[in-house]
Structure 1
Amino acid sequence: MQQTATSGRAGALYAVGAYGLWGVLPIYFVLLLPTGPIEVVGWRIIFSLVFCAVLLTVTRAWRALIAIVRQPRLFFTLGLAGLLIVINWQVYVYATLNGQVIETSLGYFINPIVTVLLGVLLLRERLRAAQWVAVGISAIAVLVIAIGYGVFPWVSLALAFSFGLYGFVKKRVGPRVDAVSGLTLETAWLIPVAIGQLWFVSATSGLVFGNAGAANVVLLLASGVITAVPLLLFAAAARRLPLVYMGLFQYLAPVLQFIVGAFILHEAMPLERWIGFALVWVALIVLTTDMLASGRARRASPLPG
């Protein structure tokens, strides 16, 4: 019992660490200015791969990675995951550096609802009534923001769907792939993308890396650590906490992103945005309440046979 409680407390700390770091990530990317989003993502891919290679060497885990490479289906599935996560990274960094942090927070607020919707579209799952209500309220929220604010929230939807699909692909590989090996192979698949992006920037506006002071160089070099550490904390939390609790902790990241965007970076929050966000929060309350009730019902049901 004592060991379970200790593991639970450790899991909670890991989850707070992971989602907390993801929540303040916009501040980090703003500090990278004047580096543009295409260059940032290019360096992020390369330095993430370097950092993962160091981790694999220190932990002597290369054998596990080689075992994955020898399974073509698993290897190519991680390539698909890499494609989805680079779309997510590119949209996120672009939005952050263009003063749209609040839109990124909306994307991660609606991500749980998009995940439920993807279950219907991809797995033919049947939703409970409360889940349909949450999906419907979210759809109304998007319409309110699009019509009232005059701009379709493509950033939010792109982030929600790319990360939702990424999560779907990662669940397909399940426990067969550890966090470090997974990120290593995903970023390895993306090296041609990184080289292409950096070549494009070099040939057009010119690379900022090395030309904007030592602090900029250090921050860009640290992008690999900034990418990998929250993922490792998340993996450690997921091993120690029930899925229901992980579902509750995930709201910490968009809450912090919203605070950063609205109160630190002072992005606009007109009335229609407040209404749209309020509707999304109502949808999340409905979805979370249903999730908790469903979890209690499963635990209370008698064992079959």
Structure 2
Amino acid sequence: MSHPSPAPGHLPGPGTPEPAPTGATAPQAAPASSGARTGPAAPTDRWGLLLGAGAFFLWGAMPLYFPLLEPAAPVEIIAHRVVWSLVFCLVLLAATRQLGGYVAALRTPRTLGVLAVAAVLIVVNWTTYVYGVLSGHVLDAALGYFINPLVTVLLAVVVLRERLRPAQWVAVGVGAAAVVVLSTGTGGLPWVALVLACSFGLYGLVKNRVGRTVEALPGLAVETTVLTPLALAYLGWLAATGVGTFGAEGTGHALLLASAGVVTALPLLLFSAAARRLPLSVVGLLQYLGPALQFVFGLLVFHEPMSATRWAGFGLVWLALVVLSVDGLRTARATRLAARS
């Protein structure tokens, strides 16, 4: 999710989606700013499902996109992603008349400071994800976004001092056991997965601080604004030293690098629209589509090896997610019934 999840701008993950709420009592899923409906009368909307599935399908298909950008290295790809995301976001903000929210966030020191921290976390997430894809660790990247909901729950305890329900403790414990199995059976920590999960979990925690005041698109625009000077400086250095690939590999490659802005912002917009139409519990289940697709691509397209130990580790992670999801759905249902009575 170089965002997903990402699960949320979130996105998350490869994309990245807007992160899930960090509250231990919240069902898995959408950002506080997404407007996802949680009330008792929140029907499942067909268009919302299509939009949400489209967003997570695009995030899940990211492993197919980044190899097209070679021979550009991961850091160069991320620099272009930052710059072209800002350009695309500004165009969309102007078209949707949301420039006011973007300017207001830039002029509010506290909001700008929080989003600057979010920008650092998401660039770590993006860079790790692109490195993982281009170095043959697509399965580890998928694992990271499968683990992310467990990290989110753990952060709610460690940082927000929230109390977990027994089922959530079970899920976290099973997830920790999965990491131990994967570490001991594959020769070391799955660091790509852990960096992705932790960076995106922290990103979600930070974004929750401004989620109710800054919408997804203006938020992503501010984050890329913070990062753009460094990205431009790096791209300028690559051009000056003659090692940059933009323009050197032909027009098609240059257009692919520029398309990183669309690839980043489009699924975010689809997700934002879906989250306003769907109950939070449905968005929470949709978030697993992204890493599931990444897993399939890693296994069947990139032919990455899956030893018995890796299957066992992934199996434990999936078991933990089932426990977490069932608990979240039960809690959401109990909340709806209580609200009706």
Say yes or no: TM over 0.5.
Answer: yes
Query: Equivalences for 1:77-156 in 2 at 5 Å?
Result: 77-156=114-193
What do residues 101-134 of structure 1 show as CA deviations (whole Å, max 9, x unaligned)? 1000000001011100000011001111111111
2:243 aligned with 1:206: yes
Q: Deviations over 1:138-161 (max 9, x none)?
A: 111111111111131111011011
Counterpart of 2:317 (choices 276, 280, 288) is 280
Which of 236, 239, 242 aligns to 2:276? It is 239
Give the CA deviation at 1:197. 3.4
Q: Distance between the aligned counterparts of 1:136 and 1:196, measured in 2?
A: 44
C-alpha contact 2:42 2:278 (8 A) present in aligned 1 = no
Aligned position for 1:255: 292
Are the counterparts in 1 of residues 105 and 222 from structure 2 also a CA contact under 8 Å?
A: no
Verify the 8 A CA contact 2:182 2:189 in the aligned structure 1.
yes
1:27 and 2:31 are equivalent in the alignment? no
| TM-score scaled by length of structure 1 | 0.94
> What is the count of residue pairs matched by the alignment?
301
CA separation in 2, counterparts of 1:152 and 1:173? 33
Task: Give the direction of change, closer, same or farther, for the CA distance of 1:216–1:297 in structure 2 (3 Å limit).
Answer: same
Which one-letter code corresponds to 2:166 in the other structure? A
Residues of 2 paired with 1:269 and 1:241: CA distance?
35
User: In structure 2, the residue corresponding to 1:241 is in which secondary structure?
Assistant: coil
Structure 2 partner of 1:8? 45
| Residue 179 of structure 1, CA deviation | 1.8
Instruction: Tell me the TM-score normalised to structure 2 length.
Output: 0.84
Decide which moves more: 186-195 or 97-106.
186-195
Q: CA deviation at 1:36?
A: 0.8
Identity of counterpart residues, as a percentage?
A: 52
Q: Distance in 2 between matches of 1:239 and 1:175?
A: 14
CA pair 71-9 structure 1, distance change in 2 beyond 3 A: same
CA distance in 2, matches of 1:287, 1:21: 25
The SS at the match of 2:209 is helix
Tell me which protein shows more helix as a share of its residues: 1
User: Which residue of 2 is the match for residue 159 of structure 1?
Assistant: 196
CA distance, structure 1, for counterparts of residue 312 and residue 293 of structure 2: 19
The structure 1 segments of at least 4 consecutive aligned residues displaced by more than 6 Å after TM superposition are none
Distance between the aligned counterparts of 1:203 and 1:263, measured in 2?
A: 40
Structure-2 change in CA distance of 1:83 and 1:128 (3 Å): same
Equivalent residue number for residue 57 of structure 1: 94
User: Max radius of gyration: which structure?
Assistant: 1
Question: Which of 205, 222, 230 in structure 2 is aligned with 1:193?
Answer: 230
Q: Is the Cα contact below 8 Å between 1:38 and 1:198 reproduced in 2? A: no
Find the aligned partners of 2:124 and 2:245 in 1 and give their Cα distance.
22
Is the 1:38–1:201 Cα contact (8 Å) retained in structure 2?
no
Which whole-Å CA distance do the structure 1 matches of 2:172 and 2:236 have between them?
42
User: Over residues 217-257 of structure 1, what are the superposed CA-to-partner deviations in whole Å (9 max), with x where a residue is unaligned?
Assistant: 11101000000001111111111112111110000000000
Higher alpha-carbon deviation: 177-186 or 193-202: 193-202
Deviation digits for residues 65-115 of structure 1 (CA, Å, limit 9, x no counterpart): 222222211121111111111110010011111111100000000101110
Which consecutive residues of structure 2, in runs of 5 or more, have no partner in the other structure? 1-40
Distance in structure 1 (CA, Å) of the matches to 2:177 and 2:242? 41
